Structure 1
Amino acid sequence: MPSAPADYRRIADELTAKINSGELPPGTKLPSTAQLADQYDVSPATVYRAVSLLHDRDLVVGHSGRGVYVAEK
């Protein structure tokens, strides 16, 4: 029986779907790590891994001290 995806992958996949659908258009600031951790009921480290996946997929860009934003296509 297949196991459920790891939480960080599930979060990354959900955010990817929102970005690809236009629900989160380019330039949109993502919620903070703490906000996403509360929303998904996971640790901040799990959110950090999810956002790292989004970076790897070239879907978001980080601006030091300002947050993480959906990348321009």
Structure 2
Amino acid sequence: MPTAPAPYKVIANDFTAKIKSGELKPGDKLPSTSQIADMYKVSVNTAYRAMSLLHDRDLIIGQPGRGTFVAGEPER
């Protein structure tokens, strides 16, 4: 019997799909970790782990003091 994927993977896969579909474009700012936790009704640690996975996949970049953004060059 298959088990449900871990919540952080569900969140990371959701954001991955939005990035790949173009719903989220390079340069778009993502919600904060606490906002993501509220959106998905998970702990901040779970949201942080999801964002870490997206970073490992090279889909997002963090800019200290500014936030987290979709990786890639924004369209001009």
Q: CA RMSD in A?
A: 0.9
TM-score, structure 1 as length reference: 0.97
- Please say if 1:4 is aligned against 2:4: yes
| Alpha-carbon distance between aligned partners in 1 of 2:38 and 2:47, rounded to the nearest angstrom | 10
Residue 24 of structure 2 corresponds to 24
- Secondary structure of 1:29's partner? coil
Runs of 4+ in 1 over 6 A off after TM superposition: none
Paired letter, 2:52: S
Gaps (5+ residues) in structure 2?
Answer: none
Q: Which residue of 1 aligns with 2:47?
A: 47
> What percentage of aligned pairs have identical amino acids?
64
Equivalent residue pairs, number: 73
Q: Normalising by structure 2, what TM-score?
A: 0.93
Once the two structures are superposed, residues 19-65 of structure 1 have per-residue CA deviations (whole angstroms, 9 ceiling, x without a partner) of 00000000000001111100000000001000000000000000011
Q: Which amino acid aligns with 2:42?
A: V
Q: Which residue of 1 aligns with 2:62?
A: 62
Name the larger-Rg structure: 2
1:12 Cα deviation from its structure 2 partner: 0.2
Gaps of at least 5 residues in structure 1 are none
